[in-house]
Structure formats: C-alpha cells, structure tokens
Amino acid sequence: MSLPPLVEPAAELTRDEVNRYSRHLIIPDVGMAGQKRLKNAKVLCVGAGGLGSPALMYLAAAGVGTLGIIDFDVVDESNLQRQIIHRQSTLGLPKAESAAATVREINPLIDIQVHNVALDRDNVMEIFSQYDLIVDGTDNFATRYMVNDAAVLLGKPYVWGSIYRFDGQASVFWAEHGPCYRCLYPEPPPPGMVPSCAEGGVLGVLCASIGSIQVNEAIKLIAGIGEPLVGRLMIYDALEMTYRQVKVRKDPECPLCGKNPTITELMEDYEAFCGAVSEEASEAAQDSTITVVELKEMQDNGENIFLVDVREPNEYEIASIPGATLIPKGEFLNGNALSLLPQDKKIVLHCKSGVRSAEALAVVKGAGFADAVHVGGGILAWIRQIDPSQPTY
C-alpha cells in the first residue's frame, strides 16, 4: 500500500547538493521534493556491522540529512569480510567512530550523530525519539524485540533486516499502518534453536543485498513513493537466487499493537525474555563450568578427561584445542553422541564461547554423567589466554 511521505521537505537544496544528487533529481518519482524530504529526514541505524555497513553508506550517499549511528563494539579483523564500512586502519577502534569517518568521506554535506553506547532499556526511548525512522541492523533477538517495542511505543516506523549464511529477510514494521515484529514473531525461538552469524557464518556479500533493500525501503518511506514492505516479508535465497514474499497480517491480539495491548512499556529484561541459553543448560552449567586455565592444568597434570569439541567441522578446521574429539552439538541433541562417551573418564565439553557446550552439557548430565563439565568462554578464551598463535573467528 502507498503511504504518505514520512517528513516534510527541507526549504531548499544548495548548489552543491543539486550537483551531488542530480541523478535523483531527474527521476520523476523522487525529484526536487523527494530529495528535499531526504535532506530533512533523521534516520538512525542500529548497528554498524554487516547490515549497518551498506545501509549507512547508501543512506549517506542518498542525502539523508541527519544520520545517526549507534554501536558499542570495536572493529575486529573478522568483521572485515562483510562489514565494508570499516578498514584495516580502523581495527580496534569503536565501530561507531569508524563508520562515521567513512560516511563523512562519502558525503560531507550531511550531519552525523554518533552514539558510541550499547542500546538498552534505559536509553532506547530517548535516542529513538530524536529520529524519524529506524533502520535495524541488529543480530540478536533481545535487541530486535526491544527495537520493535520502542518503535511501536513511540509511533515510529522501522526497517528490519536479517541475514544468516546464504539467506536474508527484510520487512517494514509500522504499527500505525500494519503489523509489528511481534505480529510476525510473537515469541522468540527456543534458546540455541537459531545459531547466530558468529556460530553459523554469513556470506559477506549477503549483507549488501539485504542492507541495500533496507535503504531502498527507507527512501520510499521518507519520500512517500512506491509500495513499502509494510505487511510483507521479503525472503532472499542467495544460493538459488530467488526472492519470494510472505504476507504478514496485523495480529488483532498482538500484546503490543493489537486492539487491547498488554505491553504498554518496555520489558524489564529482554535477555531473559529471549533466553540466551535454555533453563536446562543454565542449570547444568551451574557449578559445572571450568576456565580454560583449569582445563590446561587438567591436561598438564595428565588427568583422566575426555575433551569434546561440540562445534561444527568447518569451525574445527580453523582452530582447535589439542586433544579434543569433535562431536557436533547436534549429535548430542539427537542422542547419537552418548554412545561415544567413555564411562571411565571425566567428560569436558567446549564450543566457541560456551553457549553450545552448555546445551550439550545438559544432555550429558541428563544421561547420567554427573561429573561432566564445560569450558566457560570456549575456544575463544583458550586462544586469548592459552594459545594466541591460533586464529580467531
């Protein structure tokens, strides 16, 4: 459905702006009025990572007058495969500052607002209230639900995107004109059910595909042109090179944007709502978590342990802890791994950071291996503290 323009046009374009945006100005659907609306728009990009990188660069190039960047992370070498807004020279710098520097090089005529903080319950409403439109480039469910709730409570539209391996999704959520994120996903997936990009990987160029779609939708909303993805979920398969759409209807019983909302303010704890790990895994890990230093001492002392790496084979090829046997987490969840575990050794599990090993630990303890433990921090902690010669990912 067509929607009215999100903002009023700016008073004028300068000569430099006319020169810069001339290819927009000669498009009848954009023209002078549309470009003035872009100049007058204030857009916040949540995250300067995979999706945020192309989104920020194209929003800046398009002439969005005020562009906000919020990110609390720092640039890491593993980011450079897909987060094209960052450079080798900015490794170790705050992502928000690195992104701002690149954006200023792309377009010095716009205003950049840097929020080098973690978006949380205490600041999200105040920060969002400064902008007309939110572009969501987050990569975890807790922040996605918080972004959605804040946007709905403030009456603001936001453009959402998601990527994983070769698959991407995008939509526009605007409760005033259609569904919100909770209408599509009333409940978060069970903990451990959906791996993150850090666990499962993502094709770098997929970020550009979905990020550019997000910017396209942002421009349409700001200028009031075309048919925005309100009430539609776009699904992209890069391997098959297919796009398909799924209609998303507004849920009249939605607790946030429905007829009788029960969520009238931000939730107290979005992490708890989404559950980083399952209750079973949390209980299993309690008093059964060791450090990488303790693991190294076990190995050096020749203790009778059976070390299991529950990551995937391609992760094992990147880096591994000496002496570990690879048995992916899925083999524990389907029960096949239990027959491979010796009864006369102490079972020690590890993964990349400790989440998957905690899930496997719950299965192992449930099968009667009462003294089993897992390694907090996983192989990343091992590399940081024990063997920095190995690569991280």
Strand pairing report for 242-247 and 232-237: antiparallel
Residue 150 CA to residue 125 CA, distance in Å, equals 6
Residue 88 CA to residue 133 CA, distance in Å, equals 31
Contact predicate 164/209, CB 8 Å: no
Strand partners for 347: 306
What lies within 8 Å, CB to CB, of 276 at 6+ separation is 142, 191, 355
Task: Return the structure tokens found at 360.
Answer: 């496997």
Residue 67 CA to residue 18 CA, distance in Å, equals 19
> What residues act catalytically?
197, 351
Q: Which of 125, 123, 235, 254 is nearest to 183 (CA)?
A: 254
Amino acid at 257: C
Stated length of the chain: 393
